[in-house]
Amino acid sequence: MFKRKNAVVRTRKYGKLIRISIITVAIALFAGGIAYGWQQYEEEKYPEGTEMDYSLPNAFIDFARLINDFITQNESEENITETLKENNDSEKGDTIIIVGSEETQSSEETSSETEPEEPEIRGGIVPENENAGFYDFKDSLFVGDYFVAQAENLGYFEHTGFAHVTGLDMSTILTKKELKLGEDYVTLSDYAASFEDVEAVYIMISAESISWMDVPTFVKKYTAFVEGILKSFPEAHIYVQPILPINEEKAAKRGYTVTNDAIRKINEYIFSFAEENSIWILDMVSAFADDEGKLPEELTTNGIRFERDTYEIWSNYLVTHKAHK
């Protein structure tokens, strides 16, 4: 398909350039003639060897140069405009004109690009890190059974919040109202949810809460309880402490039927659930187990509950395994 419009534009453009060139030459000749005549006049006016004033001829020359620069600049701008028009007529797609040096363009592109924020990593086994202090747990909440109650009674983590039920029965953990909140009694889950500005929740259930329950039943009740904590604190870091090993011989004398084999199976389910739900795992079993995988007799009072000094091992593990800042 022919494009006559472009041919007409080019003809008009060349005609205009010719007219401008003629005007430029005429002005230059006129200014040059005046400058030359004035120079001759000055040379006759002053004696030979006298320094003469050529300011007026120079002014005419400068004026001629100024006129020439102005016309040349207009000519360049018109050429650019005509070129852009021709490009727009010949191309169907959008044309983007970028003004500026490559360095400027590069800096603008860099500044306009926003570095994507790396997602916060949550969940998995907490690695050992720098030793934190008890005050660093001031925005944390410990939730659990007698284990948490004894930690509070002994004065560990005095700046931390505590929510616990001594003699917790896992079969009724979601329904039994044993804690007083205001004028009413509420469940452990509801009591824990009443705490505000919590950055981290530590869930600590002991083997004492397993007792007669089989592994699948305990896991079902346990995970349901943790899911409730997740809903109450969706922005907080959640930590789970595994069921710690026991001394089976000592526990059997007190009537407990739970075994370390059952505890290991339960912990496998707990760890799997934690990984699927971005929950931190405090893998502290090895800190309390001997070569046979059981709790040494000197560390426990009844085979399950800790001796007073055993909590020192536990607290040292927590302050050196803190995932969140």
The pLDDT assigned to 169 comes to 87
Which positions ≥6 away from 205 have C-beta within 8 Å? 144, 145, 147, 168, 170, 222, 241, 243
Sheet holding 280-281, edge to edge: 124-125, 280-281, 237-241, 200-204, 140-144, 161-164
Region for 211 from its dihedrals, namely left if φ exceeds 0, alpha if ψ lies in -120 to 50, beta otherwise? left
Top-confidence range, 57-71, 89-103, 207-221, 289-303: 289-303
Average pLDDT over residues 68-74: 55
Does residue 95 surpass a pLDDT of 50? Answer: no
- 222 pLDDT more than 90: yes
pLDDT band for position 77 (50/70/90)? low
Instruction: State yes or no: pLDDT of 246 exceeds 70.
Output: yes
> Which pTM was predicted?
0.65
- Residues 255-304: tens digit of each pLDDT: 999 999 999 999 999 999 999 999 999 999 999 999 999 999 999 999 99
Confidence of residue 4 (pLDDT cuts 50, 70, 90): very low
Q: How far apart are CA 289 and CA 312, in angstroms?
A: 15
170-201, pLDDT tens digit by residue?
889 999 999 999 999 999 999 999 999 999 99
Phi/psi region, residue 51 (left: phi>0; alpha: psi -120 to 50; beta: rest), is: beta
Query: pLDDT digit string (tens) for 248-257?
Result: 999 999 999 9
The whole-angstrom separation of Cα 97 and Cα 189 is 63
Ramachandran bin of 256, using left for φ above 0, alpha for ψ from -120 to 50, beta for the remaining angles: beta
